[in-house]
Structure 1
Amino acid sequence: MSLLMKQKPRFFLLLVLFLSVIVCYSQEIGIDHQRLGQLRTEFENGKMEISNYNTACYFALSGDRTLAFVYLKKAVYDDGFADATAMEKDPDLSTLHHDALWPVILQKIEENVMKQQKVAALYFNQKDFWESKTLKTPYRENISEEEKIAGLSKFWSEAKYNFANFDLLPDLNFDSLYFAYLSKVTNTKSTLEYYQLMAKFGAMLRDGHTNVYAPQELTNELYARPLLRSRLVEGKTLIVGVYDPKLEKEGIKVGQEIVEVNGLPVKEYAARYVIPYESSSTRQDKEVRAYDYALLAGSIHQPIALQLKDKSGFMQKYSISRVKPEERSAKLAAAPFEYKMLKGNIAYIALNSFGSDSAANAFAACYENISKANAIIFDIRNNGGGSSSVGWNILSYLIQKPFPIHSWYTREYRPSFRAWNNIQQVYGGKSKLYPKEKFFYHKPVVVLTSARTFSAAEDFAAAFKSLHRGQIIGSATGGSSGQPLVISLPGNGTARICTKRDMLANGEDFVGKGVQPDKKVVPTIEDVRKGVDTVLEEAIKQLLSPKHGANKI
């Protein structure tokens, strides 16, 4: 059965009562009581929602054709049901096929299909409606003033109607901000300068899934970086990765502190040239973007000047070249899935990306060996996201029964409701995780998180917390998740806008806060210099503790 639509709770209770009566007396009235019992079980287990269509099926199975047609008409006339093929093939409705009302219903479905096709042609199939070719202009070194205003206006308008997190910005007057930026964008002297300003405008919404991206033609001017990785540790900016042998030969090492960038103290440089252009949801997210990701970004044609200090206090200046983003990614990228056994027969699994099904597939392939471990550590500290379903697939091995893991909502905009001065509503739902039929890992599990844990990886952490399946150790996640709407902008640029608010299963927010660890552990400067993974060591310590028991669901 299809087109499952939500109804009021009172109707829910009435239907449960009705189904109970039908199942009890099914043998006396000669209906398929086994099928009704199956439907009732599916309904009570949350595998089926109440809808007019499904209610018609219940009554058709019970032998009450009159009520079956009452609800089938509601489904078709009121709800707009438009799948005649599915309805005709649905065995639950087979007893209605010879009734005089059946062809009437089919005729109305045909009308619904035509209506939906007409609407779809206007709003969805017609490419020039939402993504107008008029506004999707090609890159030029300096796009026109009209294009600049149009781009700002499009982003402002799309955000005003679609952005999910305005409640987190009570002091922001978005219209006033837009008005102030109109003159700013028209005064820019190049497309490069324009997109830098647009990035700053987008960052005002303080959301990690709401960003403006410069045209591909400007990638090497804005996003080139050296083969280094930096990070803010105990208030100091440290080198945490060196990926070029030439830099190592020059004396650049992990653990050195970046004191100056291009002649400015590192924090002053970040405050002036980095932070204003980075969209971030939390303080920890801002620090990651400023000091991990964007600090050393810039033009591939301009080397970056660094003054570094080692642990003895010795300082030296370096001029370091940047490389193309794709070259750097190839050098620094980690595999989506890493697996090894640690002391105490603990399985360590790094889930570094949910950008494809690779991590879930690899976990499934290794599960026979993983299942023999005394405990599992899932490390998502460096996972920037992807698809939430990938991580949830892995978590399904940790439960024995269906369990709520996630709730969400999006804004529900109806033009007529606005005309009637109705308060804007939201539409949302909840997600359940279902166990693997043949697999259940019942032993202890720990998840490691950091501020670099972002998006779909946060959905993994939030689901794990909702399952109460074990401890989260590390630091708060980035605090940003949700479905971004991607739009084009003049000059071949793009932007995205967060349209969905994700939450824990109980409705608790983590957007704007981060999923909080059960035990906070953060690396120190000395840890980085010695190559010690303090967070992982704490997890191992917890799991080897005699007090640590398996949490079963």
Structure 2
Amino acid sequence: MVPSSASLAQTKTTDPALRQAREYYKAGDVARLDKRYADAVQLLVKAYELVPASHELPYDIACLHALSGAKDDAFKWLDVAIGAGYLNVDHMLKDSDFDSLHDDPRWQKTIEKTRKEAARQARLWSSPVWDSAYAEQLSEDERIAGLSKFWSEVKYNFVYTNKLMDLDWDAVYLRYLPKVRAAKNTADYYKILMEMCALLQDGHTNVMPPTILYNDVWGTVPLRATLMEDKVIITDVLDPALRERGILPGHQILTADGQDIKAYLQKTVAPYISASTPQDMDVRLYNYVLLLGDLDTPVKMLVADPQGKTLSIDIKRINTTTRRKFATPRPAFNWRMLANNVAYVELNSFGDNTAANEYIKAYAEIAKAKAIIFDVRKNGGGDTDVGYRVLQTLGTPPFDGSHAATRDYKPAKRAWGEKQAMHDFADEKNQPDPERAYHGTVMVLTSASTFSAAEDFAVAFDSMKRGLIIGEPTGGSTGQPLMISMPGGGSARICTKKDSYIDGKAFVGVGVQPGKLIHTKIDDFRAGKDTQLNAALAEIEKVR
């Protein structure tokens, strides 16, 4: 089956035809799992009659015919799917539903037909001409073409059009044209594009340089830090050798190459970082790309221990691959029962279904607690529906998620002088879990490292009025990125979707605000205490 076919079952809509099509699809999927392929075909055909523009449904119908051995019908519906826009050849070749078709001469003809149409369609939006190989110096034509592509894709797809008007995006293009022409090499060229992108101040709109630059040209120090009480405090020492040299979590970074650390980063790194909020920028500067710079140039750092004793040390930058090897991955889900029967649940990633699946598995034990604390302070996002599956167990009536909108650009209306409109996606309530309903006290911990789908989780929880959000404002960056290829192996992404609270209240560019603002205290961190978790536990005791 096509991976995105489930999107019909998950589509949020108030349109009666789409609602009915969704019900047919769900019933058809049940029949498919029961291997009642004829029944499944009938149900999906009914859905397709209601949604004739779909390319997913005819693909799935073709799969069902192939599974039942009806080859002629399978090829017929594959043709319908391809004609409607299904062009994922790689998936077709891997899809075991079509194994029975592989020895039929029509199979190779279908594959070639799909490849040919895919190549033709690619020439409109993602021509292979952009897939040029990395070179230390791209040609001037390639550099200008890349600048032009990024500028034009932002102009027509970036959802926050007020920013484009305020910046005068065309004027920005002309201002950066001579910079691109003068770029000394590809590394310099990509820094120029990153600087241009940073003007948009959006954490979901970025220029990503070729991987080779992060492995062979640029590096960061093997440390992570955060701002605590306006001081740059080391939170993680990735290289054990640095620990042996006396650099430990809790130490304060005072200077880099003789300059105040914050001033140094604002001057040398911040201009190239895309961020939606000040707290988003801080996470990127002090945690993600701390002291980004030339890989072969060490950094002289001055650090102070908790007693104020200073240590000057030369630290060699490491590349991205080495940094990832040093880092210990966090599990998407983890939980434990704290004192006084409080369940502490870490939801560290919504990148796949793991967090929700593991939570559901452990729910029976977690639900025995008198209170649950959900921690999304280190959750960078992923799939919003993963977080919603957790919230659906909290024993509330149907609840709102966030509202989404995108640009509704119609060239003819522009020619008629009409202002560009926005397309608002239909809002739909999230239904509670029919099998699970927790009625105890609930708290959510957030931080500036809570991003994207984890912010959607916080927005929905806030709207549910189910409990208190404690900690720091979230990163304030979410949306649907459009990915584009850039010359020399780089890429870019552009935010195409504007998200807000259901009533229009903004959180992008601001952050979801906690009900109780609690910043981490340096003394607590150094003592191994969790300031925000302890604050949540104190609030739970007040409820008793």
CA contact (8 A) 2:233 2:250 kept: yes
Q: Counterparts in 2 of 1:313-352, with a 5 A limit?
A: 313-330=308-325, 331-352=327-348
Instruction: Give matches, 1:475-494, under 5 Å.
Output: 475-494=472-491
Measure the CA separation in 2 of the matches of 1:172 and 1:269.
26
Q: Report the Cα offset of residue 345 of structure 1.
A: 0.7
Question: Per-residue deviation at 1:428?
Answer: 1.9
Q: Residue 444 of structure 1 aligns with which residue?
A: 441
Is contact 1:352-1:380 (8 Å) kept?
Answer: yes
Amino acid aligned to 1:494: S
State the one-letter code of the partner of 1:179.
L
Please report the TM-score for the alignment, with normalisation by the length of structure 1.
0.77
Contact 2:14 2:428 in 1 (8 A): no
CA distance in 2, matches of 1:364, 1:427: 35
Q: Who is 2:421 aligned against?
A: 425
Q: Aligned in 2, Cα 1:431/1:196: closer, same or farther, shift over 3 Å?
A: farther
The more displaced of 143-152 and 120-129 is 120-129
For residues 507 and 125 of structure 1, the distance between their equivalents in structure 2, rounded to whole angstroms, comes to 40
Q: How does 1:158-169 map to 2 (within 5 A)?
A: 158-168=153-163
Cα distance in structure 2, aligned partners of 1:140 and 1:206: 29
Q: CA deviation at 1:113?
A: 8.5
Q: Is the 8 A contact 1:203 1:279 kept in 2?
A: yes
Q: Size of the alignment, in residue pairs?
A: 462
The equivalent residue for 2:349 is 353
Kept in 1: contact 2:53–2:84 (CA 8 A): no
463 and 124 in structure 1: CA distance in 2 versus 1, 3 angstrom threshold: farther
Structure 2 letter corresponding to 1:526: D
Aligned equivalent of 1:540: 537
Question: Residue type of the partner of 2:15?
Answer: E
CA positional deviation for 1:314:
2.0
**Shift, 1:457, TM fit:** 0.9
2:222 alignment partner in structure 1: 227
Shift of the 390–222 alpha-carbon distance from structure 1 to 2, 3 Å rule, reads: farther
Q: Contact 1:407–1:431 (CA<8 Å) still a contact in 2?
A: no
Provide closer, same or farther for how the CA distance between residues 502 and 47 of structure 1 changes in structure 2, counting only shifts above 3 A: closer
| Conserved? CA contact 2:159–2:495, under 8 Å | yes
* Partner amino acid, structure 2, of 1:352: N
- How far apart, in 2, do the equivalents of 1:481 and 1:83 lie? 28
- The aligned counterpart of 2:510 is 513
Residue 154, structure 1, aligned to residue 120, structure 2: no
1:384 counterpart letter in structure 2: G
Separation of aligned partners in 2, 1:300 and 1:332: 22
Contact 2:204 2:494 in 1 (8 A): yes
C-alpha distance after superposition, 1:94-125 (max 9, x if no partner): xxxxxxxxxxxxxxxxx998985599997996
How many Å apart are 1:275 and its aligned residue?
0.6
Is 1:435 the counterpart of 2:432 in the alignment? yes
- Partner Cα distance (2:436, 2:369) in 1: 14
Change (3 A) 1:124 1:160: farther
Unmatched 5+ stretches in structure 1 = 1-45, 58-74, 90-110, 548-553
Shift of 1:177: 0.7
**Structure 2: distance between partners of 1:462 and 1:191:** 41
Question: Does the CA-based 8 Å contact 1:403-1:433 persist in structure 2?
Answer: yes
Ranges in structure 2 where 5+ consecutive residues have no aligned partner: 1-11, 24-47, 62-78, 88-113
Gap change, CA 1:142 and 1:345, over 3 Å in 2: same
* CA-to-aligned-CA distance 1:44-72 (integer Å, 9 cap, x gap): xx9752359979x9xxxxxxxxxxxxxxx
Measured at CA, do residues 201 and 82 of structure 1 come closer, stay the same or move farther in structure 2, by a change above 3 Å? closer
Question: Which of 364, 380, 383 lines up with 1:368 in the alignment?
Answer: 364
2:463 to 431, 442, 466: 466
Distance of aligned partners of 1:428 and 1:490 in 2 relative to their CA distance in 1, 3 Å threshold: same
SS at match of 1:164: coil
Give the 3 Å change call, closer, same or farther, for CA 82–185 of structure 1 in structure 2.
Answer: closer
SS of equivalent to 1:408: strand
Structure 1 counterpart of 2:197, from 178, 195, 202: 202
- Would you say the 8 A contact 2:399–2:460 is kept in 1? no
Structure 1 stretch 276-285 or stretch 129-138: which is displaced more? 129-138
CA distance 1:529–1:351, shift in 2 (3 Å): same
Q: Distance in 2 between matches of 1:370 and 1:213?
A: 41
Segment of structure 1 superposing worse, 244-253 or 155-164:
244-253
CA contact under 8 A between 1:445 and 1:469: conserved in structure 2?
Answer: yes
Task: Single out whichever of 121-130 and 139-148 deviates more from structure 2.
Answer: 121-130
| Cα distance change of structure 1 residues 193 and 209 upon mapping to structure 2, 3 Å threshold | same
Structure 1's consecutive aligned runs of 4 or more residues displaced over 4 angstroms after TM superposition are: 51-55, 79-86, 111-125
Identity of counterpart residues, as a percentage?
41
Aligned to 2:393: 397
Per-residue CA distance 1:319-368 (angstroms, 9 max, x = gap): 12333323423423211111111111111011111111111111111111
Larger displacement relative to structure 2 (267-276 or 220-229): 220-229
Determine the structure 1 residue equivalent to 2:29.
none
Mapping of residues 43-54 of structure 1, within 5 Å: 49-51=15-17
Q: Report if aligned partners of 2:225, 2:287 keep a CA contact under 8 Å in 1.
A: yes
Shift of 1:400: 4.2
Contact 2:265 2:291 in 1 (8 A): no
